[in-house]
Amino acid sequence: MTILCYPKCSTCAKAIAFLDRLGFAYTYRDIKKEAPSVEELIQYHKKSGLELKKLFNTSGLLYRSLDVKNRLPLMSDQEIFALLASDGMLVKRPLLVLDDKVLIGFKESQYREELS
């Protein structure tokens, strides 16, 4: 499993602490230094089962400064994936990438269920 995080994110820290506490092995990827590619984002979206807009970090400064909320309805899926891939700070985190599923954000109960 791989977890994409931002080191200064408190939610990411909670997810990492959870994985560490239960002894899970994972690969850590700094989402700011190594943003997911368009191809990766397409796969993550498919595996997550969520609406495409749920991949955005809506509380981030970059999201607000780019006025993404108002731009999204006018964008194609390909444009949305390209925008997400342009900067890892636009992507909601953490992203826990499993073989057949991707968990976006951190809810301990969801992690417990999916990892048991």
* Percentage of the chain modeled with pLDDT above 70: 100
Q: CA-CA distance, 30 to 4, in Å (whole number)? A: 6
Q: CA-CA distance, 76 to 22, in Å (whole number)? A: 40
3: left (phi over 0), alpha (psi -120 to 50) or beta: beta
The two tokens of residue 16 are: 């990492």
Domain spanning 2-115, CATH class: alpha beta
The two tokens of residue 84 are: 């997400």
Domain boundaries, the chain: 2-115
What pLDDT does residue 18 have?
A: 97
Let me know: does 32 contact 8? Beta carbons within 8 Å. Answer: no
Burial label for 45, CB within 10 Å (0-12, 13-18, 19+), is: buried
Q: Is the pLDDT of residue 116 over 90?
A: no
For 71-110, what is each residue's pLDDT tens digit? 999 999 999 999 999 999 999 999 999 999 999 999 999 9
